[in-house]
Each structure stands twice: as C-alpha cells, then as structure tokens.
Structure 1
Amino acid sequence: MDILSLFGLILSAVTLIALGYLSKVTGLLKHEDSTILNNVIIYLALPALIFLAIRNSQISINLLSIPLVGWVVMLSCAATAFFITRLLPLKNPTVGAFLLAAAIGNTGYLGYPLTLGLLGEEALAKAIFYDIFGTVIFAFTIGLYFAEVYGTNGKKINKIKEVVTFPPLIALFVGLFFRGVVLPLFILKSLNYLSAAAIPLIMLSIGLSLRFDKLGQHKLLIVLLCGIKLILSPMLAYIVGNLANLSAGSLSVVVLETSMPAAMLSFIIGLKYGLDADFLSVAIVSATVLSMITIPIWQYIIAII
C-alpha cells in the first residue's frame, strides 16, 4: 500500500472515531452507550468476523509463531514498565494499570480494521491469531495476575474461565471446525452482515469511549507509556520477528499489531478489579491519538527496510 492510501485509511478510521466522540459530545449517544455497542461487537459482530476470516483462510501450525513473538514483546514491555514503576512513587492500583497498558495493545478493536485495510484479508487471519493467542490469553492470564496483585478489590480471579468463555476465542475454534463445511446461504449472508458491521461499530465505540479529562494528572506516565507502546513495542517486534525467521507477510502483521495503542480491554480489567481507571482512560486516549501518527510511520519504515 502506498503512503497516500495508508494515510487515507488512517483518516477514515479517525473520522469514524471522531463521529463516535461527537455523538457523545452532542448528546446523540451517551458514554454509557459504549457498553451496549461493546456487547454487540464482542458477542455478535466480532465473532462473525473472526469465524468467516478463519473459515475462509489458509491456516497452518506455523501461524502460532506469530503470537509467540507477541508474547516475547508483551513480556518485554511489561518488564520495562515494571522497572519504571520501581523508580517512581506510585500507588499499587496505578502500578497495575501502568503494567496492563504497557503490555496489552488494541490488537482487536483497532488492529483488525487496520490489518484488513493495510494488508488485506489474507493477513487478517494472522492478526486474529496474534490477538487471540497473544493479546487475549496474555490479558486473561498475566494481565489478570497484575489485577490480582495490584487491584483493590482482593478478588481471586478464575483465569481459565475468563479465557474459555471469551466469544472471539470460541468463534476462532468454531471457524476452524467448520472449515470446508458447506453452510446454508442464509447463515452465510447473516454472518456477512454482522461481519461488515464489526469495523464501523468498533471505530464508533472507540470514539464514544474517549475521555480527555484528567489528562494533566499523569503527564510523565503517559509519555513513558507511549514510548513503550508506540516505539519500543514495534521495534522489539521487528527484531524478534527477524530472529524468529518470520516471513515478510507475518512480520508486517506482527509489527502492525505491536504498534497498536493501549487496549480498552485493559480499562475493562482495571475497572472491574480496582486498578487506576482514571489513569487507564487518559492513557488509552493519549496513546490512541498519537498512534494515528506512529502507525503510518512504522508502516513506512517496514516498507523501505
């Protein structure tokens, strides 16, 4: 994809995100409505997108090398963030929130649309493997461990239950099961309609969730977070991906996915288990806005190397 097409795609994404934000500002929708949108996305639209992508793609065991590289990168980012927290006078809920935001990227909500637009349908299956077996499983194991250790509600978390009941993961395995199976046309049509709705709904949901208040309270942490998430993470992905001998196509997916900003999933975990939700909200907003600049830069760098 040439640079003009790349910026055009980013601009389209920003436009949809802005529409979601303006819908909240004008009162057309409320911030709380993002919960309804997220439920539609997580339980209906995103599983349909994943099911069709996996069912219609060429899948091999080699795809597991993609999330493995992702795990190395996420663990490295978490370790870097942990070292930083030892140098700063932070309360435990903020430490846990910082670790979550530094490690977990928005590889589903933002990663899927950008992968589809930048790299095509064939790359989407690789992005799904990265997101499900990388980000999601990391979030519901290591991420929930951070929530247990640093959260304030003291709950013991059933990590296995959280993983196996996650609808996109179920859709991935169902898609694998139905590969080569002829389905009735009305089912495929319905799934296609839901799948087509996933991307715009995701973008609108991101915009509806954006909050710019309390931005000034966490300036240093946000700068450090953006450095880890938007610069260190894709740089490590490129190095580790080359060491792992990933193909050019797989390497492009890994670098793109690791260049994603902090994930809304980290906010949901933080809110549920007593981490610093105020920090997470402004961190996600800041990283998302800056990523609209850094993602095209990384794609340009990968194209010319």
Structure 2
Amino acid sequence: MPVLQTLLPLYIPLVGWVTLGVILGRVLPRSVPERLGKFLFWIGVPASIMIFLRQADLTASVWLAPLVSWIAVLLGAALAVLWIKGQVYLAIGSSRSSRSSPRSISVSAKARTSGLKSHLSHWLSPQQLRQKPTQGSFLLSTMVGNTGYLGYPVALTLVGPQYFGWAVFYDTLGSTLAAYGLGVVLAAYFGMKSSRGRELLGALVKNPALWSFWVGLWLRTVTFPDAVELGLQGIAWLIIGLSLLLLGMRLSRIQSWRNVQQASVGLGIKMVLVPLILGYGLQFLGITGLPHLVLVLQMGMPPAFATLVIAEAYDLDRELTVTTLALGSVIILLTLPVWLWLFG
C-alpha cells in the first residue's frame, strides 16, 4: 500500500498526459508534434532545467551522478555484447552439429536440434545474428535511457525538487554525452553509413540542455521575488506535462510491434539487470537515501528516443529500435514499483 500511495501521484498524470498525447497524435497533423518537439528541445526543457536547479541540492557528491551514468552505459553495453556473442556461438554450434550428424540420427535427437533452432529463431536467425546493424540497434537499446523527457518527471514526482540536480547531472553529463558520443561511434561501426557523424556530434555540442545546465548553475545566485519564483515553478511543471504529451504523440506514430521477444531481452538488460546490479552496488559503497533512489530510477528508464535518431542516421535495425522504444514505455509502469520497494 505505501508503494501504491507513492506511485498514484505519478501514474495519474503520467498515464493521463501520455494517453492524451497518443490520442492527439493520431488526430492532429504531423506538424504539431514536430513543432512541440522543437519548442521543448530549444526552449521548454532548458527552461525547466534552469528553474528546477534553483531548488536542487547540489552538494559535492552530486558529481557522482554522471559517473554512475557512464558506468551504467558501459555495463549495459558489456552485457549486450556478451549476450550477442553467446547467441552467435550457440547458433553456429547448432548449425555445425546438424551438418556433422550422421543420417542415422535418432528422431529424438533431431527433435532436440530442431527445438534449439526454433528457440534461437525467436531471437534472430543465424544470418541476422551476424548482421551488424541489428547488433548495433540491440546494443544502443541497452545503453542510453530516456532520462530527460521521462526521467525528469519521474524523479521530480517521486523524490522532489531537492534532489533534482542528481537527475540533471545524470542526464546532461551522462546519458546525453553517451548517446551522441559513444553511441554515434558504435553506430558508425555497426551501421551502413558513416557520413552523419559530424552532424550528430555537432548536435551534441549545440544541445541547449547542456548549455542551460551551466546557465542554471549561475542563476542559483540570483534572487527573485516570491511571486516570480512561484510563477516559474508553475511554468516548469507545465513544461513537464508537455514533455509527457509529446512522448505520447511520438508513441502514437509507432506502428511496428515486431521483434517483441528480441526487444524484451535488451530491455531486460537495460531496465532490470543494470539498475539491479548497480543499485545494490551503490548501497555497498555507502550511497543510500533519496540520491540513491534518483540514480536507480534514472538507470531504470526505457531507451531514449535518441536511439531512433541514431538508428535512422546510420541505417541500423529501425524495426528493432522502434519496438524496443514502444515496449519499454509500457514496462516502466511495472518496474517503478519494484525500485521503490527495493530502494525507496
């Protein structure tokens, strides 16, 4: 019951805004979410970061947040690589054993071999397993989370503005840099194109969220009248609602739900294994309390929409990326109670 009472103030607006966005995304022209996205990217989200940072507790330990973010990114990538290599090894081993088997092989042995092949085919065929674009999409889905548009409202609602700085540091100096830095490098390696790297790296440098982060730190020294401060808080929360609305609009455009089982493996790594391992690891190192919960919540976010931008730019497996985004946005409703129960 305590967990349910904690989640209700989050789930009601979260589900409400996202559902409204899904409905509006299906009836409004495509230009509406595009314009809303540009407004939030260039003005809305940077403004909310600057406003909420005024109330955040930015002690020296807050700089642990980007470090934890990078550890989560690298751990997710390592687990994904191990899983891909294991599947490729099993697929190749199964193929070799079937070729070397004598014709007198028993019916039961054939059935076992057929069953193993059928099990592997639920993930990907041996041919697909060797395709670098699919491997690249799977890898990206385990690395970078939606720690901005979704992570911010979750952290603000469940933890409060005081520790919002941990979420901002995790996102701007961790997830964002990882997506358009390491993510672009990996996409160039696994993808079919390599000419868009400068454009995406340029997008990282010009990302207004990074610049607003430093401006917000400076504005903490400026004192506003109480009425102005209250008005700014209202604007910031409205921007959070619009961000969830945009998330729903983007989800409404997703048509493909193929590769669900493949996507669920990547989400299991990104949204379950990584926060579980690092969540207990941080506790062992003495990081506890609400800052610890913020880090776990950010680690448990579904993959970021930046993964789709990168996948399209480098001709990765777009269908797998789209399915992972859609499925992850649903699974987050199931994993949040778990993190509150374990670490809240």
TM-score (structure 1 length as normaliser): 0.90
Q: Give SS of 2:323's match.
A: helix
* Partner in structure 1 of residue 179 of structure 2: 139
2:309 maps to a residue whose letter is I
* Partner in structure 2 of residue 213 of structure 1: 255
Pairwise CA distance, 1:175: 1.1
* Partner in structure 2 of residue 283 of structure 1: 324
How many residue pairs match? The answer is: 300
Change (3 A) 1:144 1:8: same
The residue correspondences of 1:64-83 to structure 2 (distance < 5 A) are: 64-83=63-82
**Paired residues of 1:69 and 1:240 also in contact (CA < 8 A):** no
* 1:277-304: CA deviation from partner (whole Å, max 9, x where unpaired): 222111100011111111122212223x
Q: Give SS of 1:215's match.
A: coil
* Partner in structure 2 of residue 84 of structure 1: 83
The residue correspondences of 1:9-48 to structure 2 (distance < 5 A) are: 9-25=10-26, 27=27, 29-48=28-47
Pairwise CA distance, 1:143: 0.8
Distance 1:268 1:189 in 2: 36
Distance 1:140 1:246 in 2: 28
**Paired residues of 1:152 and 1:274 also in contact (CA < 8 A):** yes
Pairwise CA distance, 1:273: 2.9
Distance 2:38 2:234 in 1: 17
Pairwise CA distance, 1:187: 8.0
* Partner in structure 2 of residue 263 of structure 1: 304
Distance 1:176 1:212 in 2: 37
TM-score (structure 2 length as normaliser): 0.80
Distance 1:54 1:4 in 2: 27
Distance 1:247 1:175 in 2: 26
The residue correspondences of 1:51-66 to structure 2 (distance < 5 A) are: 51-66=50-65
Distance 1:259 1:292 in 2: 11
Distance 2:340 2:309 in 1: 29
**Paired residues of 1:7 and 1:296 also in contact (CA < 8 A):** no
The residue correspondences of 1:225-236 to structure 2 (distance < 5 A) are: 225-236=266-277
2:179 maps to a residue whose letter is A
Change (3 A) 1:163 1:245: farther
1:127 to 167, 183, 189: 167
Gaps of 5+ in 2: 89-128
Q: Give SS of 1:249's match.
A: helix
* Partner in structure 1 of residue 5 of structure 2: 4
Bigger CA radius of gyration: 2
Distance 1:290 1:54 in 2: 29
Note the aligned Cα RMSD (angstroms).
2.3
Q: Give SS of 1:180's match.
A: coil
Change (3 A) 1:127 1:295: same
Change (3 A) 1:2 1:243: closer
Distance 1:61 1:31 in 2: 44
Pairwise CA distance, 1:194: 4.3
